[in-house]
Amino acid sequence: MNRLNRLPTLRVNPSEKLTFNYIGSSCQGVKGDTVATALYANDVRIFGRSLKYHRPRGLYSMDGECSNCCVEIDGIPNVRAETTLLRNGMNIRPQNVRKSPDTDIMGFMDKMDWAMPAGFYYRCMHKPAKLWPFFLKQIRKAAGLGRISPDFHMKGRYDEIYPNADVCVIGGGAAGMTAALTAAGQGLRVILLESRPWLGGFFDYRTAEYTPSQEGISRTLCERARELSEQLENAPNVRTFVHTAMIGAYSNNLITAFQTGNKSDAFDERYMEIRAKSVVVATGCIERPLLFDNNDRPGVMQVGCAHRLAQTYGLLPGENAVFSVGHDLGLEAVLDLYDMGVSVACVADVREDGQDPHLLEKLTERKIPFMRGWTAHTAHGSKTLEKVTLSTLSGAQHREFDCDTLVASAGLTPVTGPLTLAQAKLAYDNHTGFFLPEKLPEKMYAAGRMLGLQSPLSIETSGKLAGLSAAADCGTSLEHEIKQTREELRNLAGPVRGSKFVTAPVRGQKSFICFDEDTTVKNIDQAIQAGFDAPELIKRFTAAGTGPGQGGIPGHNLPLLVSQWHTDSGLAVQPTTVRPPLVPTYLATYAGAKHDMCKRTPAYESQKKAGGVMQRAGVWKRARRFSDDIRCQEEVENVRSNVGILDASTLGKFRIFGPDALRALERVYVGDMSKVSEAKIRYSAMCNEDGCLLDDGVVVRRGENDYYFTTSTGRAGQTVEWIRYHARYENWDFSIVNLTDAFGVINLAGPNARKVLEKLTDADVSNAAFPFAGYREFAIRDTIPVRVMRLGFVGELSFELHVPSSFMQTLWELIEDAGKPLGIRNFGLEAQNLLRMEKGHVIIGSESEQRTTLHDLGLGFLWYRDKPQAKTVGAVALRQTEHQEGRLKLIGFRMEDASSRSPKDGSVIVDSTIRGYVCSARHSFALNEPIGMALAEPQLADTDTRLEIFEDSGDDRLYAKVVPMPFYDPEGEKLRI
């Protein structure tokens, strides 16, 4: 196809060729082409097939308002050909076709519409229910858009930016550019977003005259657009982002968008979050589709599509065209296309009057037949358009015209998505026929054509007014200027009367209101007959507007059509809700560049080197185990019989100090914290207001009013706030410092632990000098300061060494060297889990859940009830629940058959009903049988009670019996050696 290559409006460079592949054939486009225009230039008219009926579909809107032009590019499905710029070497394939777009063997589905009325999948295929999976599979096979494999690797560079601005302008047409220049003129930082790859909007592709009577200089709209664009380029405080689609608006003017990069950018797509003090929405209008029979036939396209195809890309939409329009832009397009060489058989205008007389004169000059009050009635042609029937609005008269292109549009409709996302309520405006905001959200302004303005000067002045108003929101005093500009705007041409026409006088069986979901006017009728009376419900029942086009095509017509059925009911015409993202994009774009930030302990490298299987646990990456054995037998047995080291650096660690530090501790810990001493650790727990266990850890006193305490890993992030929150009404003087990352923690555990430690320090670590539950501070190798606690979480002699993080790696290696002759080895979280379970020690979150109190876990002894003045968090609830009946209790169990496997964590304990659940269960190597802990009803808590355990994976029951805990070393002798 030849290009018109001397147009002033052209945005392609015909001399720079690009090569791409389309279904195995090598094709050529030019620089600046979209994939859609390049395909069109290569005579592709059928881009794909429709979702349900496999109807041929072609170029329609040019802005990706429907799925007609979704194609697969380089393996990525559902790419919008209309908005994707062509690149060299692209491999393009059509979607939803069997064989080829021209000859689709599923095309017979178009004859099956009688079998698929509105909501057929809700009504027909669930009886009998057994057949539903079969139909589901068949429907999914037959329908759908692109296909992607679950393991598809998305290539490309995806990035993110979070810019700040005083004013964010959405829409780079004349109004948006003027608003941006005006706000920037006040010295403010401005961001301008434009979804197309260039600025200009409705001015960009038009050669109509701009301000013929002013300034005495004749300019075209296109020239004016480029003049404004140039001014923006030279404005130092304006950042313009083109090819950037706004996708969301949130509170406090947080605007989200994504930008498509070009060859010179460091990204293919990038996600944007813009924080602005004020926002101007100047997104203009899209066209409201005209509904008539076969309105989806390739060859039928919107006015802007045909006009831009020629003016922007140098491609004529066809040779013989018929126009059916509803606004003056349609008449302007007729003249331009005629002058470029398109033969125009006839122009039908749904408006009886109100056309621009100058445009009508020009039509007459060119002898183009013009029919007022006529509309497209039916498009004919088996695959592409061959003929069109026009009719009067009432359908009383018909005429037929041969043509290959039907340019059709019912009118314009504003792009109000950004406003509605910001919670603006829309109402129908009878003059413009637009849904316009009744009241704009705070610090948000609308400007331009979306308000119904048509005159270029009015559009720019409204932009200026919005720019000034937005600037005023940023603290600039502009009352006078705003008043003056408002007056200027009042003296210019106001909003024009819009066409309200929706559908031709047809039965609507093949009049598509939503191309994406193959929803017809008849389907809407069926939904109404079924009792659905609101567009929001009809949308769901018929799926109209739920496809990739995000309601772009049916968004305005659906409520208008529905309102025609409800003229007497008094229901207000309401458009359906729009939600972000307004324009769909890749998940990869949302994921951005670096999305997995995790914490590593200071001994991470040593553990990885030792074969640690590092897994994400909350914010940390931790060693789960050190071998392929998921039961970790050797790690566990080595701790029980020898010595092992565990990295416990993720524990929360805090310093709390100040005259009222003890009061704060007494408030949040259930124990008697006044007994905390300098040489001894005190184990205690924190509860929430309901007496449920929240956290546990140890506290030591390191000086006067100066304490060091630990928390569980999961609570480390919230502890400071928790304590401050519960002291918020007290005028206490205390401070807390989070030292979680400041100290690495090594748990040296096992009967030989002392032998290892003794090699590293001169300090006396004998049981006499440093007994169980003791706390000491000394130096390793006279250099490395450590805080050491004698603990017993895993049930063996244990030293927990808290070491400055920067020394952790070195100390870890020293311990490994010192323990080498003894056969020291690492143990990970899985081994620790079994070791502590054998000892009957709970892990919060494993043996407790939101409703589990201290009493339920048998930890009531930790609660010191004689400190009412402390107002300990949870104390009231602990008192109330102490003897409360029916609470689940923590129990230990062994399997009846010692040779059986252990039940899965979370399995339920049943008889005729659910009586509890298994918290953790593992095979104990020390006992050589499976053991576990469960939360069960108190009636099941007695020793030797038989438990029936049900797993979700099968019908077989497992049986266990309740036993006392701890399972291992019940006297605790091994901790005290």
Partner 1 sequence: MKVYQRCSPVSFSTRPLKTEIRDNWRVVLEYENEGSGPYLIDLSHLPKWDVQGKNLSEITFQERAIPENPGQSELGDGFLINRMNRTQASLWHLNGENPEIPNIPAFTDVTESGVLLALIGREVFSIAEKLTSLDFSDPEKEAPFLLQGPFSHIPCQVVLSDRETPALLWTCSRGYGRDMAESVLAAGEEWGIRPAGENVFTGWFQKLSD
What residue ranges bind partner 1 (CB under 8 A)? 159-164, 189, 266, 273, 275, 593-602, 619-620, 655, 657-658, 703, 705-706, 733, 735-743, 781, 783-784, 804-810, 814
State how beta strands 190-193 and 238-241 pair. Answer: parallel
**Residue with smaller CB distance to partner 1, 191 or 921:** 191
Residue 782: count other Cβ atoms within 10 Å of its Cβ.
8
Cis status of the peptide bond prior to 298, with omega within 30 of 0: no
Q: How far is the CB of 880 from partner 1 (least distance, A)?
A: 35
Q: From the CB of 740, what's the least distance to partner 1, in Å? A: 7
CB of 240 to partner 1, least distance (A): 15
Q: How many other C-beta atoms can be found within 10 angstroms of the C-beta atom of residue 125?
A: 17
> Shortest distance, CB of residue 929 to partner 1, whole angstroms?
39
Tell me which residue has tokens 């050190």.
Answer: 626
DSSP string, 916-977: EEEEEEEEETTTTEEEEEEEE-GGG-STT-EEEEE-TT-S-EEEEEEE-S-SS-TT-GGGG-
Q: Which two tokens stand for residue 824?
A: 């020291």
Geometric angle at alpha carbon 453, from 449 and 455, rounded to 5° = 110
Closest CA to 118 of 539, 505, 502: 539
Query: Which burial class, exposed, middle or buried, applies to 127 when counting CB atoms under 10 A from its CB (0-12, 13-18, 19+)?
Result: exposed
Nearer to partner 1, 99 or 781 (CB): 781
Say if CB 374 and CB 350 are below 8 A apart.
yes
Nearer to partner 1, 274 or 513 (CB): 274
Question: Cβ of residue 734: shortest distance to partner 1, in angstroms?
Answer: 9
Please report how close the Cβ of residue 373 comes to partner 1 at its closest, in angstroms: 54
Residues 6+ apart with CB under 8 A from 904: 918, 921, 951, 952, 953
**Smallest distance from partner 1 to CB 826, Å:** 18
Helix pair angle (357-365, 328-340), 10° resolution: 30
At 442, list the tokens. Answer: 């705070």
Tell me whether residue 159 or residue 336 sits nearer to partner 1 (CB atom): 159
- Cβ closer to partner 1: 744 or 750? 744
Contact 509, 520 (CB under 8 A): yes
Smallest distance from partner 1 to CB 777, Å: 15
Q: Over the range 478-511, which residues count as b (16 or more CB within 10 Å of their CB) and which as e?
A: beebeeebeeebeeeeebbebbbbbbbebebebb
Q: Tell me whether residue 81 or residue 739 sits nearer to partner 1 (CB atom).
A: 739
Return d(Cα 136, Cα 139) in angstroms, integer.
5
Selection from 87, 91, 47 nearest residue 70 by Cα:
47
Residue identified by tokens 């460091």 is: 266
Q: How far is the CB of 733 from partner 1 (least distance, A)?
A: 5
CB nearer partner 1, residue 622 or residue 923: 622
Minimum Å gap between C-beta 650 and partner 1 is: 8
The residue (of 111 and 595) whose beta carbon lies closer to partner 1 is 595
Shortest Å distance, C-beta 419 to partner 1: 23
Q: How far is the CB of 809 from partner 1 (least distance, A)?
A: 5
Other beta carbons less than 10 A from residue 150's beta carbon: 4
Cα separation, 711 vs 699, in Å, equals 9
Output 600 or 887, the one with its CB closest to partner 1.
600
Which CB, 573 or 588, lies closer to partner 1? 588
Task: Give the helix ranges, DSSP H, for 530-603.
Answer: 535-542, 557-565, 587-591
Task: Give the β-pairing of 682-687 and 652-657.
Answer: unpaired
Secondary structure letter of residue 396 according to DSSP: S
Residues in the chain: 977
Using DSSP's 3-state secondary structure scheme, residue 864 falls into: coil
Minimum Å distance from CB 811 to partner 1?
A: 8
Shortest distance in whole angstroms from residue 699 CB to partner 1:
17
What is the DSSP secondary structure assignment for residue 111, as one 8-state letter? G
Angle between helices 535-542 and 521-529 (to 10 degrees): 110
Phi, psi for residue 252 in degrees, rounded to 5: 60, 35
Of 731, 702, 666, nearest to 869 by C-alpha is 666
For partner 1, give the closer residue by CB, 704 or 885.
704
DSSP state of 272: E
Measured CA to CA, the distance from residue 417 to residue 132 in angstroms comes to 37
Closest CB to partner 1 among residues 6, 263: 263
Least Å distance between CB 617 and partner 1? 12
**Closest separation in Å from C-beta 271 to partner 1:** 10
Residue of 58, 68, 62 lying closest to 404 (CA atoms): 58
Closest to partner 1 by CB, 276 or 859? 276
Nearer to partner 1, 91 or 164 (CB): 164
Q: Which ranges of 443-505 would DSSP assign to H, the alpha helix?
A: 456-473, 479-490
Between CA 718 and CA 722 the distance in angstroms is 6
Q: Which is nearer to partner 1, 253 or 526 (CB)?
A: 253
718 contact partners, CB below 8 Å, separation of at least 6: none
Shortest distance, position 813 Cβ to partner 1, whole Å: 10
Q: Of 372 and 608, which CB lies nearer to partner 1 in the complex structure?
A: 608
Separation in Å, CA 445 to CA 18, 274, 344, 465, 473: 41, 16, 41, 9, 11
Q: Which is nearer to partner 1, 376 or 808 (CB)?
A: 808
Q: What stretch of H or E contains 614?
A: strand 613-617
Which residue's CB is nearer to partner 1, number 657 or number 917?
Answer: 657
Q: Nearest distance from residue 784's CB to partner 1, in Å?
A: 6
Q: 604 phi and psi, to 5 degrees?
A: -60, -50
